[in-house]
Structure 1
């Protein structure tokens, strides 16, 4: 797929997930869109920098949990961190920790800055929210 089309598809998939979440449906309803994002990120390596830039922009906000059009669901950020294990995401989380919490992890215990490193673990506790990882699902975060 050409880079412009793949970037447009990424934006559409993210927007679909946002609309589902903003309408009050949970992560289970947005799961298909989330995993389509993961799929396209795997298939189109050039989208890595695009997605990382979106994460950097989202996490530069005081409250990145917004579900406005054009934002990025934090649950999607966590899932991509779990699936892709890109070190840039850890760096962005650390930058957020420094900027908003002066590096104090205790102050950021429920913030996305703490949740991204947790998502890098094979035993990430939020896996339980995704049918994808359930019985008969894929077990490897890198598969």
Structure 2
């Protein structure tokens, strides 16, 4: 039960973080003057990693643990759905958000920014579904 509660807390924290980034942080990118944006973006990357890194690591640990040693009575489907959602988030981050942030770290690029918003929406939605799956696993 503790594992499921910790897993739910981590997934909910990440989903809240991701929606905050999508709704508040990224829209502000467009307000930064292009001449200073690359430096702003590089500072953003360093700072955001300190927040998201532990959330990714924690979810990775609890998801792996649930897949390997699912507590008795915990339904399998929400565990698998949560793992799939985490895979979508990590894949969208590695293959979409990180390269786009690197590009924006060299110069403002409106097309890259618009793609980043789309990738981030995918991450936020997947994180939300992952949180619902974690709740379903806990309530079993």
Q: TM-score, normalised by structure 1?
A: 0.34
The structure showing larger relative contact order (alpha-carbon pairs under 8 Å, at least 6 residues apart) is 2
More helix by share: 2
> Considering only CA atoms, is the larger Rg found in Structure 1 or Structure 2?
2
